[in-house]
Homo-oligomer: A and B are copies of this chain.
Amino acid sequence: MIGIDDEKFIRGKAPMTKQEIRILTLAKARIGESDFVADIGAGTGSLSIEAARLAERGYVFAIDRDESAIDVITQNAEKFSVDNIIIIHAEAPAGLISVPRIDVALIGGSGGRMREILTSIDKKMKPGGRIVINCVTVQSLYACLEWLKSNENYRYDAIQVNITRLQQVGDYDMAKALNPIHIVTARKIQLKRVANVINMSDAIFKENAETGKKGKREPGNLSTC
Binding site for B on A (CB under 8 A): 1-3, 20, 23-24, 27-28, 30-31, 54, 112, 136-142, 145, 149, 157-166, 169, 171-182
Copies in the complex: 4
Q: Tell me which of B30, B145, B178 contacts A1 (CB under 8 A).
A: B30
A212 to chain B, nearest CB (A): 23
| Contact (Cβ within 8 A) A1 B139 | no
| Contact (Cβ within 8 A) A159 B112 | no
| Contact (Cβ within 8 A) A175 B137 | yes
| Contact (Cβ within 8 A) A137 B23 | no
Residue of B nearest to A32 (CB): B1
Give 4 closest A-B pairs by Cβ, nearest first: A177-B177, A162-B162, A3-B27, A158-B166
| Contact (Cβ within 8 A) A162 B137 | no
- Enumerate chain B residues within 8 angstroms of A160, measured Cβ to Cβ: 163-164, 166, 175, 180
| Contact (Cβ within 8 A) B20 A161 | yes
- The contact sample of 8 A-B pairs, CB cut-off 8 A, is A3-B27, A136-B174, A136-B175, A138-B175, A140-B172, A175-B179, A176-B179, A177-B178
- Enumerate chain B residues within 8 angstroms of A30, measured Cβ to Cβ: 1, 3
Q: Tell me which of B3, B24, B180, B182 contacts A20 (CB under 8 A).
A: B24
| Contact (Cβ within 8 A) A179 B164 | yes
Interchain CA distance A181-B162 in the complex, whole Å = 11
Max count, chain B CB within 10 A of own CB: residue among A138, A140, A158 = A138
